[in-house]
Each structure stands twice: as structure tokens, then as C-alpha cells.
Amino acid sequence: MLAYAVPYRSLLVIVFVTIVVITFVSLVPPLLMRDLIDTAIPGENLGRVTWLGLGMVAVPIVNGVVGVIQRWASARAGEGIIYDLRTGLYAHLQRMSLGFFTATRPGEMMSRLNNDVVGAQSAVTGTAVSLVSNSLSAVATLAVMLSLEWRLTLAAVAILPLFLFPSRRVGKILRSITRDQMDANARMNATMNETLNLSGALLVKLFGRTSDEDAKFGGHAAEVRDLGVRRALIGRWFFMALGVVSAFGTALVFWLGAVLVIHGSLTIGTIVALSAYLVGLYGPLSALSNARVELATSLVSFERVFEVIDMPRDIDEPDDAIELDEVEGRVTFDGVAFDYRQVASPALDHVKRFSWRSQSEEAGAAPPEMVGRARAIDRLDFEVEPGRLVALVGPSGAGKTTVTYLIPRLYDTTEGRVLIDGVDVRRLSLHSLADAIGVVTQETFLFHDTIAANMRYARPDASDDEIVAAATAANIHDFVSELPDAYETLVGERGYRLSGGEKQRVAIARVILKDPKILVLDEATSHLDARSEALIQEALERVMAGRTSFVIAHRLSTVLAADRIFVLDRGRLVEEGRHQELLAREGLYSDLFRTQFSAAP
């Protein structure tokens, strides 16, 4: 955490200086009262009384102005540290592998970004300043009290251990409760995130599970409530204990002071000043005891934030990463093997440690078709020439999706290499690799923004003419032009205001605008109506022209048009060739053709 404070050291110095000024200025009023009672009033010195009165007014003015400066500096430093922490956490999450996101719940990540970072913020802007301020105030007050009357000061300090014991005990308890409370809040946030988004709300309604979800959320909310009540009660008992200790110390000092005044060894002004300093001593001591508790609970926030930041990235680029400037599009799989469990284990070990999801790591890291499989890919060797169209076919669970994940390096191989133009993808910069490859997934995702903004996500500097050209090539321009707001039409959450075929064509237009040399496509046209399917197929044929394309084939036309067909089964390449060649072999492809493709248009 200190590394995050270094850029704001000048502001922190200002905070420290203002704390010193406020501390010493706050020590003045009891001395003014002592002088007023012991000197000015008995001496009937009106001028001295006036100056002492002005001094009493000046103290809060000075403290107020300096306090504003302190608050400005502490807020700037604290908010700046939290900004760096939040953006660092977000950037780290953005660079985690796909396996990490399949094993975590978005609501719990949002809790880390929001609730936990805010908890850390209170430690920086509140607890830390309070700790320094009250420590300095207690030491300075104690020094002044010793100079006034050492016997009463020792009596006041004698009860100091009574402040330390409850803070130590309560700090441990509240730290544990705070972690439980944050975990419960994260689970509640995850439930809200899953059931209050469009897809989740639709599922709940379609299955009539509203009451069940109410009960489930109510259980999480009740857990948060009960922990909050417990924390509040423990805090109240703690403050009561501190109040009793302070009252006991004050009573002891007053009693001894009265005895000394009666015996003539102490002036009334001194005992009045000491009683005022008692507030300045016990107040900071109580605040320090509470700060210890606050610090213990705030550390939980830091721990939860750094648990994420300290996660290893299993997909990263080397320091001497190679930039792909001119891409030909040659793709090579050289002895490639892949195991989801082995590749995703570093990040998922952390996920398991703080229980973001109850499912096993293996089930969370792999696509549904691979759950329960030990190896998704087993020794794949092939090379695809630039500009060729490769169709990937095979039964469910054959490893087709995994092959398409390895090309853009959504995962790294367990064994072997994936090469583009002869260069291992692990040696390429992630940015240039992303620029070289375009992907149209089976489940199209659109942001809750305009059609134009969703298309420009591929190339932010694209002109309006280029957007229209891409949309025309994707067979979506005519539809968009008929909308009231045309390209400025909001698509809704995940593009829900558009049909499946329309979303798919917008996604294709987005890839056309990107203009990559390598395409990875999951046609996903089987659930669409005939007209949408035909429009998408025509658009796909345009976008694949002149590009190296890997297509998970759902249509006979794609299989027939392929330069090469790779037939996969249980992660192995069992057959390879063109359509007629493979049919003649009477192998797995022939069986798949009869069951999957023969009835397809």
C-alpha cells in the first residue's frame, strides 16, 4: 500500500504539518484559562482579560482554516490513492484469462471494485489521519500535563492499560465479522447481478421462480443484516467500556486534585487546566483505541483488494514481445495439447481460496462441452496456408471450440505451440495478436449503446462511410437505415432490442470494420429463420474472402466450400481432407454428414 502513497507524498507532508499545527494550537486554551483564573482575574487586569478572550476566539479560527487545508490535502491524497487502486484492480481484471471469468461471478468482482475499495478509502482518508493526529495530540497533551502537575498526570496515565485491552480484543472480533460481512455482501451482490440483468430476469419469469429468488435473496440479505447488528452491538459495548474507563480516570484526577488544592499544593487554575487537558488526553486515547479497531477492519478491505491484484496472470506477453506488422495469415498447430485444469490452475487456486464460486475449478474453467474431460486437445499437428477456409466438424465435446480459443490466445497450450506466420503466439504482443484476428462467436454480445458505437468498438477511428460500407457488406445496412434513429439506435442490454439474426449481422459488420487477416467463426445460424440465415451466410462468404478462416461448421454449404475439413473427435484430428474425399472413406465424417449435414440446406 505504501507504493500507492509515494506519488502523493507532498500532500501527505501537508497533512502531517497541519496535524502538528492543529495539535499545538489546541493545547493553548487550557493554558489561557489557567492564566485567566490564577493571574488576570485576581490581578483585576482587564487588558489581560481582553487579550485572553481574543486568544480564545483566535484558536478555533486558526484550527478551522488549517483544518480545511488538512481536509483538502487528505482528500486529494486519499481519493488519488483509491483512484490508482481501483483503476489498477480494474486493469488487472481486464487482463485475466478467459478461464478466470468463467470461474468467477461478476457481482462478486463488482463488490471488490466498489465496496472493498471504499472500505480501503476510509482507512486512508479517515483512520490513518486519525491515527497520526490522535497519537501526536496524546503525546503533546501528556507532555504539557507533566509540566503542570506530574502527580495528577501519572494518576491519569495509570488507567492507560484499560484502553488497550478492549481495543485489542474487539479489533480481532470485528476484523473477523467485517470479513464475513464483506463476503456476505459479495454473495448478495452476485445474486442481484445474476437475477436483475435482462437474461436472468427473463429466466426467472419463464420458470416462475420469482418467489424462490425472493427467498434466496432474502437469505443473503438476512445474513448481512445479522452481521451488521452483531457488529453494531460489539461496537456499542466497546464505546461503553471506553466511556467508563475515561470517567474513572477523570474522577480519580479530580479527587486527587481536590485533595492537593485543599492542602494548598495546587492552584485552582491548574486543576481547571488539567481537567481540560484530560479531555484532550482521554479523547485521543479513546480515538486511538477505536482507530486500532477501525484499522483492523479496514485491513480486511485491503486484503480483499490485494487478493485480486496479486493473482497471477496466466495469459501475459513477454517484455520483448514481437509486433505483427504485416500478417499473411499462416496458422500452425505444432504438437498442441491442452488441459483446462492445468492451464487455469494459478488464478483458479486464488478463486478457490476466497470461495467466489462453489463449482469445481475444472467445471468453471472449461466450456460446457468439456466439463468432465481430462484433456480437451491431444497432440494436434496441422498447418493452414494464408487465405484458406478450414471447416471444423465433429461431435459435441470433440474440441472444436477449444481450437478456436487457442488461436487468439484466449488460453495457452499445455503442450506444443500455436504459430502465426511462423511465430509462437506466446511471443506476440497481445495488442497486435488481437488486431490480426477477428472472432464472431455463437453468442453475440453488444453493449448497451448505439449500433454505430458497437461497430466502432472494432475501430474507434472509423468514419461514417466506413461504418456504412461494413454494414452493407454484412447485409444489415438496409435494416438499420429504416430505423427512426438509424445508426444512433440504442440496441439495449446485450443487444436485446435486436433479433438474433440482426445482432449476428451487426457482429459480422464489426469484424469487417476491423479487417483482420485471420477469422474465427462459429456460424450459429441453425436457430435463425431462413431469411436471416441466408443473409448471414452471404455476409460470411464476403468477410471470409481472402482471409484465413476457421469455421465451426453448422451448414452443409460451409463444409462444401471449405478448402480443408478437419474432423475432430475427443481432442484428436481423426480425419482431414475435402468433402468428397472424406465421404469416400466411410469414417466419422461420413457418419456426421448423414446425421448433421445431409438434411441441412
User: Same topology for domains 2-309 and 331-348+359-597, yes or no?
Assistant: no
Q: What is the mean pLDDT of the chain?
A: 77
Packing angle of the helix pair 198-206, 160-195 (nearest 10 deg): 70
Give 347's pLDDT tier (boundaries 50, 70, 90): very low
DSSP designation for 113: I
H helix intervals, 103-159: 106-111, 117-122, 128-148, 150-157
Q: What is residue 354's predicted lDDT score, i.e. its pLDDT?
A: 44
Task: For Cα atoms 318, 319, 324, give the angle at the middle one, nearest 5 degrees.
Answer: 70
Q: Give the model confidence (pLDDT) of 533-569 as tens digits.
A: 677 777 777 777 778 889 887 777 778 878 899 988 8
Integer CA distances (angstroms), 124 to 2, 65, 291, 297, 452, in order:
11, 22, 12, 13, 42
Selected residue with higher pLDDT from 40 and 480: 480
Mean pLDDT, rounded, for 350-375:
45
H helix intervals, 310-429: 340-353, 361-365, 400-406
- List Cβ neighbours of 326 (8 Å cut-off, separation of 6 or more): none
The one-letter code for the residue type at 551 is V
Integer CA distances (angstroms), 159 to 162, 181, 450, in order:
5, 33, 67
CATH of 331-348+359-597, one of 3.30.1370.60, 3.40.50.300, 3.40.50.2300, 3.90.110.10: 3.40.50.300
Q: What is residue 199's predicted lDDT score, i.e. its pLDDT?
A: 64
**2-309 classified as CATH 1.20.1560.10:** yes
Mean pLDDT, rounded, for 251-268:
75
- List Cβ neighbours of 132 (8 Å cut-off, separation of 6 or more): 15, 16, 19
Asked if pLDDT for residue 477 goes beyond 70, the answer is: yes
- List Cβ neighbours of 60 (8 Å cut-off, separation of 6 or more): none
Mean pLDDT, rounded, for 420-426:
89
Q: What is residue 99's predicted lDDT score, i.e. its pLDDT?
A: 72
Give 168's pLDDT tier (boundaries 50, 70, 90): low
Q: What is residue 166's predicted lDDT score, i.e. its pLDDT?
A: 65
Q: Round to whole Å and give the CA distance between 600 and 523.
A: 13
> Can you read off the three cell numbers belonging to residue 96?
485475466
Evaluate whether 343 touches 375 at the Cβ level (below 8 Å): no
β-bridge pairing 415-420 and 423-424: antiparallel
Asked if pLDDT for residue 399 goes beyond 80, the answer is: yes
Tell me the longest C-alpha to C-alpha distance in the chain.
122
Give 151's pLDDT tier (boundaries 50, 70, 90): confident
Q: What is residue 290's predicted lDDT score, i.e. its pLDDT?
A: 65
Concatenating the DSSP letter of every residue in 25-94 gives HHTHHHHHHHHIIIIITTTT-HHHHHHHHHHHHHHHHHHHHHHHHHHHHHHHHHHHHHHHHHHHHHHHHH
Q: Round to whole Å and give the CA distance between 534 and 64.
A: 74
DSSP designation for 209: -
Q: Give the model confidence (pLDDT) of 52-95 as tens digits.
A: 888 888 888 888 898 889 888 888 888 888 888 888 888 887 77
Evaluate whether 436 touches 409 at the Cβ level (below 8 Å): no
Selected residue with higher pLDDT from 249 and 426: 426
Domain residue ranges of the chain, discontinuous segments joined by +: 2-309, 331-348+359-597
